[in-house]
Amino acid sequence: QVQVEESGGGLVQPGGSLRLSCVVSGRGFRVNVMGWYRQAPGNQRELVAQIINGGRNDGSISDADYVKGRFTISRDGVKNTVYLQMNSLKPEDTAVYYCFADTLLGGRRYWGQGTQVTVSA
């Protein structure tokens, strides 16, 4: 079983910054992709960014257009930890941010419970 736990959300003014962290823990798994989705009330959950952990494409990042130049995803593959540094935050970034981890063994996606990010003046 894999557990995913996010932290670092909060209330921030427009233009501010937050750093989200996500720790993936458990036994008998190997994470090949980690990343972040977000979901605002009434909206579909959307991908923010993801990073590949291991393999030929290790470290390869995919992110949404709306975060380019503002958000940076990073990870510690050994510790199965993924981060999202969010700068120049906008009110539109307000959402619950969910960490996910895809495992090679079993081909499953695990989700955290989410951390609230609120950008408001």
pLDDT, tens digit, 9 for 90 and up, residues 20-32: 999 999 888 888 9
Cα–Cα distances in angstroms (integers) from residue 118 to residues 9, 69, 82, 111, in the given order: 8, 20, 20, 20
- Local structure of residue 93 (DSSP, 8 states): G
pLDDT at 105 over 80: no
Q: Are 102 and 32 in contact (CB under 8 A)?
A: yes
Q: Are 52 and 60 in contact (CB under 8 A)?
A: yes
Determine the pLDDT at residue 95. Answer: 98
Average pLDDT of the segment spanning 111-116: 97
